[in-house]
């Protein structure tokens, strides 16, 4: 019998097919059992009657626990009332492996319990929708860069230095001989790639020993980081807005069913599929925040509250550029007309989802960079290779990093980004 996936049922109306999956739920009217079968691509209502199934199978179908694995064979029928628009009139059922007392039921569970059972929680429809959106975002990222001639340039995960400051580094013992660190960002390596290939991107896991327990911080998250030679801050912002609007458009187009499951209001997302995105300077951001009564002073870095207040003023993501040099990393290029600000940009998502992109133009002058490394309290020796990029054919170059989980969290409209990654890692959570 032809095995088909539930998402393909529309091509098989009237045919006999086999579904292979798990029991998501069931109800019974005595004479008929309605089994909700899921196979990872969708859920299909399978209708079992005594006459069609025979007494033995009919009785067995009534005693299966949630998440029992099974194969059902039957005829596909179109039914507008059924959840996915189709149902299966069952002819036979084969139980593969029975399950009893599945821990996640229809009743309300606390989030700690669900996180402890994350390996099972990912089977539920909401988690399913979120992780499918994540998968779509990741593939949209790759398509965007490949369509534009970027080379995938993977950065190492084990590194000898920090990239984003030394306060949140995960340190490892490297063969008892020296220290190594889990990468905070592939950027420094992507810069080497950009000077070799013109335009590159890296996409991989990054790590921050963040002691902040906010809804936007994980200790392990995925970042996609393009880097372009002969590019300045304006070019970087153009790339960032094209990139984000492309992803939004792609998710609206291909993941509308998942957004519906999540009850996501897509009006705000539609605006974010349009260009251009507003650009304001940090100076202007401070003025706007003060007008709104937020207590901030020039020189402060923005936290979640400031970002939320700013994003409320716009219908789509806003790019805030030229933050004070003092709040930013050593590699940022200072504005030549105003050394107190850096040629950097943060993109803030609407509806309080915070910073989804951070990036900017890199310091390309050898002497200035050397001085910055030292003034940030970093040792020069492990950065000699990085300084080589300024010794041999240095050019203006720029890039950014987008956090996959923050992006997914915004698109799905969910509160805490722990649900946007299969197995979240946070200060207080390493399991499962
Ligand atoms: O602003 P960040 O720290 O920038 C960098 O790491 C640059 N080196 C990137 C570059 O220019 N190539 O981080 C970039 C993005 C943030 O905007 C956010 O989306 C995400 O990475 N991010 C986090 N996501 C989840 N948990 C955390 N702890 C995150 N820290 C940053
Ligand atoms: Mg940042």
Task: Report domain extents, the chain.
Answer: 6-97, 118-420
Ligand nearest to the CA of 333: 1
CA distance 224 to 144: 11
Beta bridge partners of 399: 227, 360
CA distance 368 to 406: 33
Centre of ligand 2 to C-alpha 319, Å, is: 12
Contact at 8 Å (CB) between 237 and 359?
no
Q: What pLDDT is stored for residue 320 in this prediction?
A: 98
Measured on CA atoms in the order 34, 36, 37, 42, is the torsion positive or negative?
positive
Ligand nearest to the CA of 210: 1
Contact at 8 Å (CB) between 226 and 244?
no
β-strand 43-49 against 86-97: which pairing, if any? parallel
Torsion, Cα of 259, 265, 271, 273 (10° steps): 0
Q: How confident is the model at residue 106 (pLDDT cuts 50, 70, 90)?
A: confident
β-strand 334-335 against 338-342: which pairing, if any? antiparallel
Centre of ligand 2 to C-alpha 117, Å, is: 31
Superfamily of domain 118-420: Bira Bifunctional Protein; Domain 2 (3.30.930.10)
Centre of ligand 2 to C-alpha 276, Å, is: 21
Mean pLDDT of the chain: 95
The finding on whether 38 has its CB within 6 A of some atom of ligand 1 is no
Give kind and range of the element (H or E) at residue 347: strand 344-349
pLDDT for residue 334 is more than 90: yes
Percentage of the chain modeled with pLDDT above 90: 92
CATH topology identical between 6-97 and 118-420? no
Centre of ligand 2 to C-alpha 65, Å, is: 47
Would you list the DSSP string of 98-120? ---S-S--SS---HHHHHHTHHH
The length of the chain is 432
Residues near 371 by beta carbon (within 8 Å), at least 6 away in sequence: none
pLDDT in tens, 10-63: 999 999 999 999 999 999 988 899 999 999 999 999 999 999 999 999 998 888
- Secondary-structure breakdown of the chain: helix, strand, coil percentages, each rounded to the nearest 5: 35, 30, 35
Q: Mean pLDDT, to the nearest integer, of 356-380?
A: 96
Using CB atoms within 10 Å of the CB of residue 157, give its burial: 0 to 12 exposed, 13 to 18 middle, 19+ buried.
Answer: middle
CA distance 314 to 193: 35
Atom of ligand 1 nearest to the CA of 358: 1
The finding on whether 163 has its CB within 6 A of some atom of ligand 1 is yes
Domain covering 6-97 in this structure, CATH number: 2.40.50.140
Contact at 8 Å (CB) between 184 and 169?
yes
Q: What are phi and psi of 182, to 5 degrees?
A: -75, 135
Write the residue with the smallest CA distance to atom 27 of ligand 1: 217
The finding on whether 208 has its CB within 6 A of some atom of ligand 1 is yes
CA distance 5 to 320: 45
Contact at 8 Å (CB) between 287 and 306?
no
pLDDT for residue 342 is more than 90: yes
pLDDT for residue 286 is more than 90: yes
Q: How confident is the model at residue 82 (pLDDT cuts 50, 70, 90)?
A: confident
Q: How confident is the model at residue 151 (pLDDT cuts 50, 70, 90)?
A: very high
Residues near 330 by beta carbon (within 8 Å), at least 6 away in sequence: 363, 369, 372, 373, 375, 376, 378
Atom of ligand 1 nearest to the CA of 212: 28
β-strand 151-152 against 158-159: which pairing, if any? unpaired
Ligand nearest to the CA of 164: 1
Atom of ligand 1 nearest to the CA of 208: 28
The finding on whether 225 has its CB within 6 A of some atom of ligand 1 is yes
Q: Mean pLDDT, to the nearest integer, of 291-295?
A: 94
């Amino acid at each position: 019998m032809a095995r088909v996936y539930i998402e393909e049922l529309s091509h098989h109306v009237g045919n006999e097919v086999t579904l292979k999956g798990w029991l998501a739920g069931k109800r019974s009217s005595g004479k008929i059992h309605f089994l909700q079968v899921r196979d990872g691509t969708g859920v299909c209502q399978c209708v079992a009657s005594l006459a069609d199934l025979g007494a033995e199978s009919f009785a067995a179908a009534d005693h299966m626990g949630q998440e029992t694995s099974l194969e059902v064979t039957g005829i596909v029928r179109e039914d507008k009332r059924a959840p996915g628009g189709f149902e299966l009139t069952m002819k036979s059922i084969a139980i593969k492996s029975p399950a009893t007392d599945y821990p996640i039921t229809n009743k309300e569970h606390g989030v700690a319990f669900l996180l402890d059972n994350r390996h099972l929680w990912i089977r539920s429809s909401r988690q399913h929708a979120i992780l499918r959106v994540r998968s779509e975002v990741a593939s949209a990222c790759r398509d965007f860069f490949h369509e534009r001639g970027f080379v995938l340039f993977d950065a190492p995960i084990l590194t000898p230095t920090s990239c984003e400051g030394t306060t949140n580094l995960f340190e490892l013992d490297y063969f008892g001989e020296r220290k190594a660190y889990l990468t905070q960002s592939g950027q420094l390596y992507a810069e080497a790639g950009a000077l070799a290939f013109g335009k590159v991107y890296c996409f991989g896991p990054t790590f921050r020993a963040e002691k902040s327990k906010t809804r936007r911080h994980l200790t392990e998250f995925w970042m996609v980081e393009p880097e372009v030679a002969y590019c300045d801050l304006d070019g970087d912002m153009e790339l960032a807005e094209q990139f984000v609007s492309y992803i939004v458009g792609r998710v609206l187009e291909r993941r509308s069913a998942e957004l519906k499951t999540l009850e996501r209001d897509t009006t705000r997302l539609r605006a974010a599929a349009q260009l251009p995105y507003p650009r304001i300077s940090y100076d202007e951001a401070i003025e706007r925040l003060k007008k709104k009564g937020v207590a901030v002073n020039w020189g402060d870095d923005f936290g979640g509250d400031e970002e939320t207040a700013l994003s409320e003023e716009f219908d789509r993501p806003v790019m805030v550029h030229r933050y004070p040099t003092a709040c930013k990393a050593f590699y940022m290029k200072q504005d030549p007309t105003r050394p107190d600000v850096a040629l950097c940009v943060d993109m803030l998502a609407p509806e309080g989802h915070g910073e989804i992109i951070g990036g900017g133009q890199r310091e390309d002058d050898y002497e200035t960079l050397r001085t910055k490394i030292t003034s940030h309290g970093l040792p020069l020796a492990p950065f000699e290779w990085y300084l080589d990029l300024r010794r041999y054919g240095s050019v203006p170059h720029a890039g950014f990093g987008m956090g996959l989980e923050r992006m997914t969290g915004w698109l799905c409209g969910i509160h805490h980004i722990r649900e946007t990654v299969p197995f979240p890692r946070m200060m207080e959570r390493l399991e499962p």
